[in-house]
Amino acid sequence: MTIFKRRTALLALGAVAAATMAGQAMAQQVTLRLHQMLPPQATIPARAIVPWAQKVEAESGGKIKVQLFHAMQLGGAPPQLFDQARDGVVDITWTVLGYTPGRFNKAEVFELPFMSGSAEASSRAFQEYVEKHAADEFKDVKLLAVHTHGPGLFHTKTPVTGLESLRGMKIRGGSRIINNMLVKLGATPVGMPVPAVTEALSKGVIDGTTIPWEVTPALKVSELVKNHTTFAGSTGLYTQTFAFSMNKGSYEKLPADLKKVIDANSGIETAALFGRAMDEGDKAGRAIAEKAGNNIIALDAAETQRWRRTAATVETDWVNEMKGKNIDGTRLASEARALIAKYSK
């Protein structure tokens, strides 16, 4: 073989080897499609999901790419998101558990009136609670984390200065527990996912909404209403619960090293990341309303206690309903409060 032919053969072998190595590298890369309901500038996408995705990509050495789809870009409605992850329509979703009523019975306890305050503390508590008491409700997915938002409050067109002023108002509620609470408080609940709030307020479908401060900027709520009612004490009127879920098959297909990356970015610290984002978002949302000169009403301790007494029957209703499902609601409510107290210290 001549020198020229030997060089040609070596170059050809080198090209084959390079192509093979490139193919192997590509084979090691995994793209995970993540679908959620809010615009990218909203609190959770901007302050939790994007940082989580960046961390996963970095810790995987670039082997995992997280492709983000915001505001239901891949189709469907927010109540379908959990099943999109379960069924493998996408790889990962973030959604509100209350959008599928009657499905996450044991998880609902965190939505009871005046149960929780700080989102980070409550999210840590909720993650531990689910792992101990409600893991079976998430058995169809690889659960990355659960979390709550911060103190829930009212945002209304006319001021809510006491129980009497709420009566007859059409108020958006985000779950069946919250809607029951609104009935007890004298309002007319209108159930809808949070992305629908902006249009509902602008068209007069509702007179106000129950949401935390953090999501008000993305929904332009502080422009559409000028009154915001908060409560005395360390707990809010209510909270909602959320799940960050992965398709089981998508997880199982990962090689062991990439499963470790996902596992390292799941659980209580991921729950805390989402909770901290909510707490930071609450500060930013309230600051926008203050800058706009909106009317922020702080109910005093005595008036807040009236609301507590009136709303207390929501927990009684839930406990009685859980009895019919062979679930000890009293014990679960006690467990939830103990965990919230543990992480609120």
Residues 6 or more apart in contact with residue 47 via CB below 8 angstroms: 276, 277, 280, 281
Structural domains in the chain, CATH included, are 30-101+116-149+240-281 (3.40.190.170), 153-238+293-344 (3.40.190.170)
**pLDDT at position 2:** 54
Q: Which residue has the tokens 């129950």?
A: 210
**Which burial class, exposed, middle or buried, applies to 54 when counting CB atoms under 10 A from its CB (0-12, 13-18, 19+)?**
exposed
Distance CA 186, CA 139 (A): 37
**pLDDT at position 158:** 98
**pLDDT at position 303:** 98
pTM, entire model: 0.92
Partners of 210 in beta bridges: 154
Distance CA 309, CA 326 (A): 27
**pLDDT at position 23:** 42
Token pair in block for residue 111: 């939505």
**Residues lower than pLDDT 70 in the chain:** 1-27
pLDDT one-digit tens code per residue, 261-286: 999 999 999 999 999 999 999 999 99
Contact (Cβ atoms closer than 8 angstroms) between residue 121 and residue 209: no
Token pair in block for residue 97: 């558990």
